[in-house]
Amino acid sequence: MSLRTKFMLALLLTGLAAVAMVGGLAYAGMTKKVDSLRRERAAEHFHAAVTAYLAQYDWKANHGKEGFDDFMLSRGPLAGDRPPPPDGERRRPPPPGEGRPERRGEPPYHFILADQDYRVLLGAGVYEHGELLPEAARKDARAVEVQGRVVAYVSPEGVITPSKQELQYLAAMRDALWFGVSGAAVLALVLGVLLSRGLGRTLGHLTGAVRAMHGGSLLQRVPVEGKDEVAELAAAFNAMSEKLARTHEELSESHHTILTQAEQMRELSVRDALTKLHNRRHFDEQASSLFSHAVRHKRPLSVVIGDIDFFKKINDQFSHATGDVVLRQVGEILRGHMRLSDLVARYGGEEFVIAFPETELPQAAALCDKLRAMIEAFPWHQVHPELKVTMSMGVYADLAAGTAEAMLQKADALLYRAKETGRNRVCFAA
């Protein structure tokens, strides 16, 4: 069942219950009050009539009920029950010989009348004529006295016979009650539609916004209408959405920063701080994969180790700072003449290593000689007028060595030979 239907049903039931309670109680109360007032007046009227009748006639000798009925009619109706007859006609007895006068409608009440011994004279449809009035009924019975002697009893018990006017009042009241019920139902429906529309609209916005948040768009805004609890909920939702979106943004930023820092740290961990070339650890890892790849695919791989000649002397003669400049510049020359697929690193001190994938020994040896010549030809005098820098290199290209590390050891041996045989040269072996 939708919220709107529930809302309308609640209003409808509340409205109907309120109308039924107020109207029903008013109807019952009014009926009771009218009845009690009329009963009192009618009882008084009846008592007076009986007293007057028995003052004049003997009940039995006057043929009982018939005689009393005519007497009652000749006294006229109870004030307020029927329109009074025109002057002159009031209290006029029926003309003799015309028999029983025409009855002017039922009296509003039939009361019970008993003689001085509580034998019922008029039973009002409750008791039979002649039967004894029960003890319970005698309690409330009012004595009729004629010349100081109790001659009869009138019981207030009676059968109500509402007048036409009263029936009209009660019918009008019932109609008013039905009008009230119908009015309350219509009002409940209209109010239900109007109120639930507002409520449903805000809830619809909230549901849509929550779904959008679930879909990833954390920053949502729903309209805030009015100042009730639903508006408060919408405002609180907006604040929460904004805070969530901001927190998410901050988290993303710090996550990105952490990733960047991690990337930087990882990069630093594989780089040499002075020359910015890769370091020994990175070279060993990468050279090992290059070796495996070359073996698996039976592709050539050349490994080179180069060492700056008399570097200690450079440090000693020109300063350690000049030595650093030399290291950086040599690194620059090596990096500047490598292919992207080549691997170059500072191996430690003044030692540099290179791995040339897909490169046969002659090709690698020629390239190394070119690099050696470039280092030698660099205008070192710009760093220091007397500065000269050369490099010796060993090149090895036989995968049969078994590992990249073993190939490097072989290259180192060739470097040693280059140093031994005069430096500033490239020694190689297949």
Cα separations in angstroms, 241 against 179, 199, 244, 252, 320: 50, 20, 5, 16, 60
Q: Which helix (H) or strand (E) holds 145?
A: strand 142-146
Per CB under 6 A, which of residues 322..341 are in contact with ligand GTP? Answer: 323-324, 327
- Pick the piece of the chain touching ligand GTP (CB under 6 A) from 47-55, 139-147, 253-261, 303-311: 303-311
List the one residue from 315, 363, 403, 424 that touches ligand GTP (CB under 6 A): 315
User: CB of 348: closest distance to ligand GTP in angstroms?
Assistant: 7
Task: List, edge to edge, every strand of the sheet that includes 343-348.
Answer: 343-348, 351-357, 301-308, 391-396, 426-429
- Considering beta carbons, is residue 152 or 368 the nearer one to ligand GTP? 368
- Pick the piece of the chain touching ligand GTP (CB under 6 A) from 19-27, 112-120, 226-234, 312-320: 312-320
- Pick the piece of the chain touching ligand GTP (CB under 6 A) from 51-59, 249-257, 301-309, 399-407: 301-309
Tokens 């698996």 correspond to 296
Helix 65-75 × helix 3-56 angle, to 10°: 110
Q: What is the DSSP letter of 93?
A: P
- Ramachandran region, residue 381 (left: φ > 0; alpha: ψ -120 to 50; beta: rest): alpha
List the one residue from 57, 118, 310, 416 that touches ligand GTP (CB under 6 A): 310
User: CB of 421: closest distance to ligand GTP in angstroms?
Assistant: 12
Per CB under 6 A, which of residues 74..133 are in contact with ligand GTP? Answer: none
Per CB under 6 A, which of residues 401..430 are in contact with ligand GTP? Answer: 419
Contacts of residue 415, Cβ cutoff 8 Å, sequence gap at least 6 = 305, 306, 307, 392, 393, 394, 427
User: CB of 215: closest distance to ligand GTP in angstroms?
Assistant: 56
List the one residue from 59, 111, 153, 311 that touches ligand GTP (CB under 6 A): 311
308 near ligand GTP (CB under 6 A): yes
For residue 344, the tally of other CB atoms under 10 A from its CB is 22
276 near ligand GTP (CB under 6 A): no
- Considering beta carbons, is residue 51 or 315 the nearer one to ligand GTP? 315
* Contact between 275 and 327 (Cβ < 8 Å): yes
- Considering beta carbons, is residue 157 or 309 the nearer one to ligand GTP? 309
**Residues near ligand GTP (CB under 6 A), total:** 16
The string of DSSP letters for 182-229 reads HHHHHHHHHHHHHHHHHHHHHHHHHHHHHHHHHTT---------SSSH
Binding site for ligand GTP (CB under 6 A): 274, 307-313, 315, 320, 323-324, 327, 349-350, 419
